[in-house]
Structure 1
Amino acid sequence: MATARKRTPRKPVEPAKCETCKGSGEISVAVRVGGRKQRTTGHQQTGMCLACFGSGEATD
């Protein structure tokens, strides 16, 4: 007679992190000022990652 196999529960798979923002959902962008020349300053501003729309998960 065959014995019943004991099944182990599977671990939930974590979604892959976004390569652009490295899973944080935010990216830093250099601040530009001026009219036509648009020179960059030494400041950074934080914005939402457009590759994953702020979720931090990679999309296919």
Structure 2
Amino acid sequence: MPATRKPKAPQKCATCKGSGEVSKTVRVGRKRRTVGQQTGLCLTCFGSGEAT
């Protein structure tokens, strides 16, 4: 009887650390004043949180 192997868990994406979202600083005005952060979809893993 062959030994069954457990499938490996997928590795987390290094860019978003597995969350699927990344934060970007939002700047406005001529002097590029920082007003906050906005979250968006991670383009490395397309929001799945798994490394390819």
- Whether the TM-score (by the shorter chain) exceeds 0.5 is yes
Please report the RMSD computed on the Cα atoms of aligned residues, expressed in angstroms.
Answer: 1.4
TM-score, with structure 2 as normaliser? 0.79
TM-score, with structure 1 as normaliser? 0.71
1:54 is aligned, of 40, 47, 51, to 47
* Aligned AA (2:50): E
Paired residue for 2:10?
15
Distance in 2 (CA, whole Å) between partners of 1:13 and 1:58 is: 13
Paired residue for 1:39?
33
Indicate the structure (1 or 2) with the bigger Cα radius of gyration.
1
Structure 1 segments of 4+ aligned residues over 3 angstroms from their partners: none
* Aligned AA (1:17): K
1:11-51 per-position Cα deviation (integer Å, ceiling 9, x unaligned): 111111100100110011111112x432222x211111111
| Unaligned residue ranges in structure 1 (runs of 5+) | 1-5
